[in-house]
């Protein structure tokens, strides 16, 4: 079974600064997907960024980028130029590329990000 670990229950950052959220995972599979979801107080789960394991290039989406280290099974999220609207719970998630088990999304415990003005 796969596991996802987020070792930082809470993080804070000053507005306009950069913050990095950590995520590690454990799997025996070679083909999978990794995601960062954001859940603001409204509680909707919003996709922030995704990474295909077979792609060596790190994914980026505007101010959000990841550092994907497949050998180390690490998948950190960097938020640049932090904004007040970035304040939320951030979940790292794993999904197998195998059809039979690919329906399950394994989440980490989450990191609560506070953005200070």
Partner 1 sequence: DTEVTQTPKHLVMGMTNKKSLKCEQHMGHRAMYWYKQKAKKPPELMFVYSYEKLSINESVPSRFSPECPNSSLLNLHLHALQPEDSALYLCASSQVGRVIGNTIYFGEGSWLTVV
Contacts of 54 (CB under 8 A, 6+ apart): 31
Report the residue from 25, 36, 68, 91 that binds partner 1 according to the rule CB under 8 A: 91
Q: Considering the rule CB under 8 A, would residue 89 count as an interface residue with partner 1?
A: yes
DSSP 2: -
* 99 C-beta neighbours (distance < 10 Å), count: 7
Report the residue from 30, 42, 57, 62 that binds partner 1 according to the rule CB under 8 A: 42
Q: Considering the rule CB under 8 A, would residue 25 count as an interface residue with partner 1?
A: no
For residue 34, the cross-strand partners are 51, 94
Q: Considering the rule CB under 8 A, would residue 38 count as an interface residue with partner 1?
A: no
Q: Considering the rule CB under 8 A, would residue 11 count as an interface residue with partner 1?
A: no
């Amino acid at each position: 079974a796969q596991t996802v670990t987020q070792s930082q229950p809470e993080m804070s950052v000053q507005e306009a600064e950069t913050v990095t959220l950590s995520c590690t995972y454990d799997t025996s599979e070679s083909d999978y997907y990794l995601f960062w979801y954001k859940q603001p107080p409204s509680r909707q789960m919003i996709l922030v960024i995704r990474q295909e394991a077979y792609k060596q290039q790190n994914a980026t989406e505007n101010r959000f980028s990841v550092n994907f280290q497949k050998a180390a099974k690490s998948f950190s999220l960097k938020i640049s130029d932090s904004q007040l609207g970035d304040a939320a719970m951030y979940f790292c998630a794993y999904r197998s590329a195998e059809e039979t088990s690919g329906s399950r999304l394994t989440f980490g415990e989450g990191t609560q990000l506070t953005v200070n003005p």
